[in-house]
Amino acid sequence: MKKKTIIIVSVILIIILISLILLKNNNKEKFYLDDKYYNNSSPIEIDNNDMPESGNYILFTYNNYCTLPIPCEYIFDSFMSKYNISFISIPFEEFKKTSYYKKVKYAPTVIIIKNGKIVTYLDANSDEDLDKYQNLEEFEKWISKYIYLNKINW
């Protein structure tokens, strides 16, 4: 009887583990942004009332000041120009009024959104992400793990 219980519990744990791995990997699949964010390299300035409730986009929330040696806006603007991709841009005071603030507490940050849900973001409170704020190549490597940088039109 004990052997059966151990086998059943083990099988259930394995199924749960496999499900979690598949779910986690599914979130990391590269995806395209919505069409309107390609072929435009200007930030799209919004307030909390204009926040899209769905869709695939990149959200940049910023403070009125920057303490970094290279202002991160310079890195992000360079990226948008190089790849002709627009970010939605929102002041942090407005961002705090959105549902995303429950998960992302610090700015400046870039948040990658898929189907209206946060996939990942840069953590302004983490030394691990500092290089992505200060180096265009590091930022490109990070963001290209999640989105396609060029839209293919068929």
CATH number at residue 77: 3.40.30.10
pLDDT digits (tens, 9 = 90+) for 28-60: 699 999 999 999 989 999 998 999 989 999 999
Sequential DSSP letters for 54-114: SS-EEEEEE-S---SSS-HHHHHHHHHHHHTB--EEEEHHHHTTSGGGGT--SSSEEEEEE
Distance (Å, whole) CA 42 – CA 77: 8
**How many folded domains does the chain comprise?**
2
pLDDT at 119: 97
Q: What is the pTM of this model?
A: 0.79
Residue-number span of the structural domain to which 15 is assigned: 1-29
Beta-bridge partners for 147: 31
| Structure tokens belonging to residue 146 | 């999640």
pLDDT digits (tens, 9 = 90+) for 63-109: 988 788 888 899 999 999 999 999 999 999 999 999 999 999 999 99
| Structure tokens belonging to residue 105 | 């507490």
Same domain flag for 1 and 16: yes
pLDDT at 150: 84
